[in-house]
Amino acid sequence: MLEIRPNCEHCGKELPNTSAEAMICSFECTYCEYCAHNLFKNVCPSCGGNFEKRPIRPSAMLAKHPVSKKRFHEPKDLEATQELIAKYGNISPGRR
């Protein structure tokens, strides 16, 4: 089950459950759309995988399955991410 993390790991932007800007990789590294696409070019700086839009958990499910309140804010070294982007950026996600 997704944790639905509350913010962008890189810039700290609030990404509540209903946000349309939340992007996740398969490990649920969570970024805002701007960071995921403009800074990281669809290459997750932690795992090299791609990002997809995070689905929204329906409100009727929230009482039983609450979203995470634990903030994880660890800005990435943008120079180091350039290496990863150079390595994976032009490879389609299914071939990484």
Tokens of 59: 């409100």
Q: How many whole angstroms separate alpha carbon 92 and alpha carbon 72?
A: 28
Q: How far is the CB of 92 from Zn ion (least distance, A)?
A: 16
Pattern 32-71, Zn ion, x by CB under 5 A: x--x--------x-xx------------------------
Is the distance from CB of 51 to CB of 23 less than 8 angstroms? yes
The answer to whether residue 85 forms part of the interface with Zn ion (CB under 5 A) is no
Is the distance from CB of 64 to CB of 58 less than 8 angstroms? no
Question: What is the binding site for Zn ion (CB under 5 A)?
Answer: 8, 10-11, 13, 25, 27, 29, 32, 35, 44, 46-47
